[in-house]
């Protein structure tokens, strides 16, 4: 999914680092496109608008991200905050899609 770039541990210049970051950002956008596609699918499948927001599921998704980040020795609390924003954005997107298709 990530185009050919220098492995982070093998970078010897800032140009290689920047190319790797840019390629990784493009790959993340591809994954976000897929994630938001699932939000469109959820909007299509859910029977009512009030089922779009699911606080228990939101908490589970954020905790999964936090735990995965911790295992990877990444800043778990920071990434949990990012995931909270991602989930809120996803909910807003799904609500807009639900409204647009009804």
Binding residue positions for substrate: 18, 35, 46, 94
Are 49 and 35 a contacting pair, CB within 8 Å? no
Residue with tokens 């589970």: 60
Residues in the annotated binding site: 18, 35, 46, 94
Block residue for tokens 């924003």: 85
| Positive/negative CA dihedral, 71, 75, 76, 81 | negative
Cα separation, 65 vs 101, whole angstroms: 30
């Amino acid at each position: 999914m990530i185009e050919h770039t220098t492995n982070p541990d093998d970078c010897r210049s800032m140009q290689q680092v920047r190319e790797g970051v840019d390629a990784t950002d493009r790959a993340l956008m591809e994954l976000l496109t897929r994630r938001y596609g699932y939000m469109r699918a959820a909007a299509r499948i859910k029977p009512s608008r009030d089922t779009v927001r699911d606080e228990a599921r939101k908490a589970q998704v954020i905790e999964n991200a936090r735990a995965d980040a911790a295992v990877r020795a990444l800043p778990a609390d920071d990434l949990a905050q990012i995931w909270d924003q991602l989930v809120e954005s996803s909910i807003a997107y799904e609500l807009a899609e639900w409204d647009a298709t009804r």
